[in-house]
Homo-oligomer: A and B are copies of this chain.
Amino acid sequence: MSKIKYSKYPLVYPLPAALVGAIVDNKVNYETLGDCGIVSVYPPVLYISSNKSHHTNKGILKNKCFSVNIPSVDLLDKVDYCGIVTGKKVDKSNVFKIYYGNNKDIPLIEECPINIACKVKETIDIYNMKVFFGDIIETYVNENCFTDGHIDTLKINPLIYCMDNLYWTIGKSVGKGFNSGKNYNDIIKNMDRR
Query: Which A residues from 153 to 194 make CB contacts under 8 A with B?
Result: 153, 156, 158-185, 187
User: How many copies make up the complex?
Assistant: 2
Q: A37-B37, A38-B34, A122-B126 are in contact. Are A181 and B82 (CB under 8 A)?
A: yes
How long is the Cα–Cα vector from A11 to B146 in the complex, in angstroms? 13
**Do B2 and A39 touch (CB < 8 A)?**
no
Per-position 1/0 for A22-59, Cβ under 8 A of B: 00000000000011111111111111010000000000
Ordered by A's residue number, 20 sampled pairs between the chains whose C-beta atoms are within 8 Å are A1-B144, A3-B143, A6-B140, A7-B139, A9-B41, A10-B44, A10-B45, A12-B36, A13-B16, A13-B170, A37-B47, A45-B126, A73-B174, A76-B180, A83-B177, A122-B126, A151-B163, A158-B162, A168-B171, A170-B171
